Amino acid sequence: MGGESTTRTAPRSGGKSTSPVGTKAGQRLSGTAVALGIVLFLGGFGWGALVYRPYTVPTTSMTPTIDAGDRVLAQRVDGSEVHRGDVVVFTDKTWVTNAPVVKRVVAVGGDTVSCCTGGKLTVNGKQIDEGYLKGGAVEDKTIPTVKVPKGRLFLLGDERQGSLDSSAHLTDAAQGTVAESAVTARVDAVVWPMKGMLARPTGFETLGALSTPGPLRVIVTLIVVGAVLVLGGGAYGPIAKRLGGRRSRTRTEPVGAR
């Protein structure tokens, strides 16, 4: 009989392999990525919980900056850290009982504020360009000259027509001003719907420094990077297994003539 060449299929193992998937270096990098990702992800959330508080704004008094029903994140700050142009959260029983109020600070202790000169809010004799007002509208409120006492703030809503703000409390003993100590937080961003960080109120720069934004961007970056590392590190095993399985599919070996 003439010789014939045949092939024989290598037997497959009946049990599941318990050997590590992928290279040792890949496994180490994967584990490191997952561990680091968890630290960054949880650390970001923990930092955010310590620094920020969420609020839902119930009225339209801050439109178009913040609409009714918008969810905002406000950085916990002391009232003494507040600057002109900040949107703050505060509580004042003479305004609203047992409920936080969100308004914009237009004057701080020592300032003189009035409205309107040439259709614009005037602080310390300077007309303020308020780009955050709806359609760049000019002021139409009449506010007599008010000297803001030290340690107090004068606040207005961005929707000047319907906002019950300092201008609506001018006959109060404090002439519509609110104590710095009443402030609990400063709004950094509108997170739902996702409008992002509040625009900087540059019109107040001629009167002094503006507030520095809080660490929200850094916190979000930590959370996103952490999530990517966890997902990427966790995906190494399944990907390595899939690639390894393709390479080790049915192999053939020559048997020779017989």
Q: Report the chain's C-alpha Rg in angstroms.
A: 32
Q: How close are the terminal C-alpha atoms of the chain, in Å? A: 9
Give the Cα separation of 156 and 144 in Å (integer). 14
Region label for 132, one of left (φ > 0), alpha (ψ between -120 and 50) or beta (otherwise): alpha
Cis ω on the peptide bond leading into residue 64 (within 30° of 0)?
yes
Give the Cα separation of 43 and 33 in Å (integer). 15
| Contacting residues for 221 by C-beta, under 8 A, at least 6 apart | 44
For 247, the token pair is 């390479």
List strands edge to edge, sheet with 143-147. Answer: 126-127, 120-123, 112-117, 143-147
- 118: buried, middle or exposed (CB in 10 Å: 19+, 13-18, 0-12)? exposed
Catalytic residue IDs: 61, 103
Instruction: Spell out where the chain has E strands.
Output: 7-9, 52-56, 71-76, 87-90, 101-108, 112-117, 120-123, 126-127, 143-147, 152-156, 178-179, 183-192, 196-197, 252-254
